[in-house]
Each structure stands twice: as C-alpha cells, then as structure tokens.
Amino acid sequence: MMHSPTRPPADEVLDVRDLWMRYGTKDVLTGVSFTARRGEVVALLGPNGAGKTTTIEILEGFRTRSAGDVSVLGSDPATGGEAWRARIGVVLQSWRDHVRWRVRELLAYLGRFYAAYSTPDHPRPWDVDELLAVVGLTDHAHQKIKSLSGGQRRRLDVAIGIVGRPELVFLDEPTAGFDPHARREFHELIHRLADFEESTILLTTHDLAEAERVADRILVLADGMIIADGSADELARQMATPAEVHWTQGGQRHVHVATTGDATGFVRELLAGDGESVSQLQVKGATLEDTYMTLVERIESRRPIDEGDQLTRRAQEVRS
C-alpha cells in the first residue's frame, strides 16, 4: 500500500512495518508488515509458536518490540497513554477475578472508567443493557459470574473487553476449547461488532477453517513473517499450491507433481509428445487446507524448507 507515513488514510487503524522481535538470541518476528482498516475483521493465522501472541501483545502495548514501526490508532503502542488505551479493547483469556460479582453489576462498574473518554461522536461506555443484548447475556444479567457456563463466561470476557466501545478489539485465540456450536455463536458476535460498531477486530487463531469463516482478511504468520495476506480466495492463489497431473498412457496410470503450482507447461509438453496415447488426463490442485497443513507440520517439526518437497508429499498423502 502506497501512502505517506505522516498522513495515513483516515480509516487506517493499524499500520505495522518491518516489526522485529527477539527473545534472547531467538528471532521470533523478522519483518512483519501489515495494515488494517476500520470495520475489518482480520485473522492472524499461524501454527503454535509462530509469534501470534507476541505480535498482538506488542500492538496492545504489553510487550516492547525489538525493532520496526507500529502505529495503532495513530499512536505508537509503546508510548500510548490512557486516552489511547481507552479506545482499544483487549479480550483476555478468562476473567478470573470478581467471581462473586453479578454480570450486569461488573459491566456497569468497569464501564465507568471509560466515561472520561466519552465524546459526542463516540459516547463511552456502552449502555450496559445494550451490551448485554449484543453479547447475548441479557438473561444472565443478574447471575453471579461463578455460576456462568464456559460459553457464557467467554461472552462476558468479550463484554468486558468491549465495554468502553473500543474502535479496535484484540482477541488472542478467542475460541480455543469451544465446541462447534459455541464457536459459531462467537463468530456471529464478532460479525455483529464489526458491522454495527464499525470496530476493527484483530483475532489470532491456528485454525484455518476458523479464519476462513470469521475474517474478511487472513494474515498468515510463519517463519517470522506474513507470508500471505488476503481473503481466503486470495490466499489460495498466494500460497504456492502444487498441482498434480494424472493421466493414462500405455495402459498405465501416471502422476506428475508440478511443485511450481502451474501444471500448464507440463501438460502442453505431455500432449506435444506422444499425445495421441494419453487418456484420462486430470489436473488436481492442492486445496488451501492442504497447503496450510503442510506449512504447520513443517514449522511445528522445525524442518528446513525443502524445495517444496514437503508440500508435495503432504498433498499426495491428503489425496491418496
């Protein structure tokens, strides 16, 4: 994206450029760059240990980066003050304090801290009853926190994170441990937030299916960098997917794996040769899931990149 660093587009909420993070002698982030706009739901997708939590906590101002430029709502999170923090929502893993409080009471209490940052354009905090309705806790408003189910508790975590009507919401692996039903409800909640509030949402996940379902845009974090950035369709094109060419010749089935992702050249040559005897020609592309699974396996086993060899083998395993 081309724009002057001093005058970002009005709807640009996040701008991360060449972010580096080193723990001791270990480089975890080695040049992460991406932007996010108002109202976008962005998933930071990557295998365990890829650096998702590190990235999100740097953006939240909870960790100090090693290098790079980071702008969150126009400020550097390393120096963002209270007024900046009031514009951001952080959904923490789980709210363990205040278990004796009742749901509505706690939200009303926490919301009061945001009133000082209210403006006519952007009133804060959220009206408690509206907030309860948005997160689906109206019927549990007067229940004690300790009596909530796991899914209700998680929705309360979200309510706590957004009670100040943040312009930007961070969620780190929000659906870890959810069953499919709770997961779907949660995705709907994320969409309501983005649609009605025009909040920008950055969530992390290691689950491609989740990222595809919930996000407008997916950032794939691997090997310390964003290796793909786009919608699920764009990702499938960006992440090199090996294609397999299957055909029958001389009574035998043959398979060729085009690791470059383009089988056209191979097929042309195949038919230009003794093309007459070729039959049952098929070209099969690896799915985005195949490619992502291969990436995860490679990174989690810390094997070096092997000229697409791993991708190929995985793609064959998946389809056989």
What residues line the site for Mg ion (CB under 5 A)?
52-53
CA atoms of 147 and 165, how far apart (whole Å): 26
161 is a site residue for ligand ADP (CB under 6 A): no
CA atoms of 227 and 288, how far apart (whole Å): 14
46 is a site residue for ligand ADP (CB under 6 A): yes
Per-position DSSP letters for 285-305, written without gaps between them:
EPPHHHHHHHHHHHHHTTPPP
48 is a site residue for ligand ADP (CB under 6 A): yes
Give the binding range for ligand ADP (CB under 6 A) out of 52-60, 88-96, 132-140, 305-313: 52-60
- Binding ligand ADP by CB under 6 A: which of 54, 71, 200, 241? 54
| Cβ proximity to ligand ADP, 48 vs 231, nearer residue | 48
Find the shortest distance in angstroms from Cβ 298 to ligand ADP: 15
First to last CA, the chain: 41
51 is a site residue for ligand ADP (CB under 6 A): yes
- Binding partner at 51 among Mg ion, ligand ADP, none, C-beta below 5 to 8 Å by kind: ligand ADP
Alpha helices in 19-74 (DSSP H): 52-60
x/- map, 6-45, ligand ADP, by CB under 6 A: -----------------x----x-----------------
| Cβ proximity to ligand ADP, 167 vs 172, nearer residue | 172
| Cβ proximity to Mg ion, 172 vs 244, nearer residue | 172
CA atoms of 36 and 311, how far apart (whole Å): 30
- 230-268: buried (b, 16+ CB within 10 Å) or exposed (e) per residue? bebeebbeebebbbbbebebeeeeeeebbeebebeebbe
CA atoms of 160 and 148, how far apart (whole Å): 15
Find the shortest distance in angstroms from Cβ 185 to ligand ADP: 24
CA atoms of 48 and 52, how far apart (whole Å): 8
Q: Give the count of residues interacting with ligand ADP (CB under 6 A).
A: 10
- Binding partner at 280 among ligand ADP, Mg ion, none, C-beta below 5 to 8 Å by kind: none
Find the shortest distance in angstroms from Cβ 28 to ligand ADP: 4
The contacts of residue 297 (CB under 8 Å, 6+ apart) are: 310, 314
| Cβ proximity to ligand ADP, 52 vs 140, nearer residue | 52
| Cβ proximity to ligand ADP, 28 vs 240, nearer residue | 28
The answer to whether the peptide bond before residue 125 is cis (omega within 30 degrees of 0) is yes
| Cβ proximity to ligand ADP, 270 vs 295, nearer residue | 295
196 is a site residue for ligand ADP (CB under 6 A): no
Q: 113: which strand partners? A: none
**How far, in Å, are 23, 40, 171, 219, 266 from residue 53 at the CA level?**
13, 20, 10, 14, 42
CA atoms of 155 and 151, how far apart (whole Å): 6
State which residue has the least CB distance to Mg ion. 53
Token pair, residue 156, equals: 């309360």
109 is a site residue for ligand ADP (CB under 6 A): no
- Binding ligand ADP by CB under 6 A: which of 33, 53, 66, 143? 53
Site of interaction with ligand ADP (CB under 6 A): 23, 28, 46, 48-54
